[in-house]
Amino acid sequence: MTDPRPVAAASAIFPQTRPGGCLCGAVRFEAVLATPDFGACHCEMCRRWTGSALLGMSLPAGAITWHGEEHIARIQSSDWAERGFCSRCGSGLYYRVTAPGAAAQRIELPIGLLDDAGGLTFTNEIYIDHKPDSYAYAGAGRKLMTRQDCLEAFGGLDETDGK
């Protein structure tokens, strides 16, 4: 059986730039991807924000050039971070660390926004101990981190604190 999905000729070469945007097209962007790596976050806030789990790429803020920025609405989802979404269609656009520190201004970009989300590498799952037992991603070899692992690795940047 042949795979019907289009495969970009340059998709194996990183860094590379990929375009993407929201459901309605009011917000578009180009993202420079240094690596093909992406991960899943199973924390309660990402679960509610996306309706499932956040599959995202961690990028420095400067890696993304936005178009239609006037349509980006923001919610300060915790003391640590804000989440951007399209004010017209509601698509979640990014999670951005607003607190100072090593992770300041870093963005988690949902890979589902990319026009072509193929050819990427699923490398990690965080808050794995918060994932509902109703589903699990197939495959093995990913780095799995619990909430406690994350608190130790990221210096206490936890959006679920106080919930």
- Interface contacts to Zn ion, rule CB under 5 A: 22, 24, 26, 41, 43, 46, 86, 88-89
Task: Note whether 150 and 126 are within 8 A (CB).
Answer: yes
Tokens representing 121?
């590498």
Q: Which is nearer to Zn ion, 8 or 79 (CB)?
A: 79
For residue 140, what is the DSSP state? S
CA 47 from chain center: how many Å?
A: 12
Q: What 3-state DSSP class applies to 63?
A: helix
For the bound state, the minimum distance from the C-beta of residue 2 to Zn ion, rounded and expressed in Å, comes to 33
Closest CA to 96 of 77, 69, 112: 77
**Ramachandran bin of 90, using left for φ above 0, alpha for ψ from -120 to 50, beta for the remaining angles:** left
Q: Which is nearer to Zn ion, 7 or 70 (CB)?
A: 70
Q: Name the phi and psi angles at 144, rounded to 5.
A: -110, 130
For the bound state, the minimum distance from the C-beta of residue 46 to Zn ion, rounded and expressed in Å, comes to 3
Q: Which is nearer to Zn ion, 89 or 117 (CB)?
A: 89
For the bound state, the minimum distance from the C-beta of residue 154 to Zn ion, rounded and expressed in Å, comes to 11
For the bound state, the minimum distance from the C-beta of residue 102 to Zn ion, rounded and expressed in Å, comes to 18
Q: Which is nearer to Zn ion, 14 or 64 (CB)?
A: 64
Task: Note whether 30 and 65 are within 8 A (CB).
Answer: yes
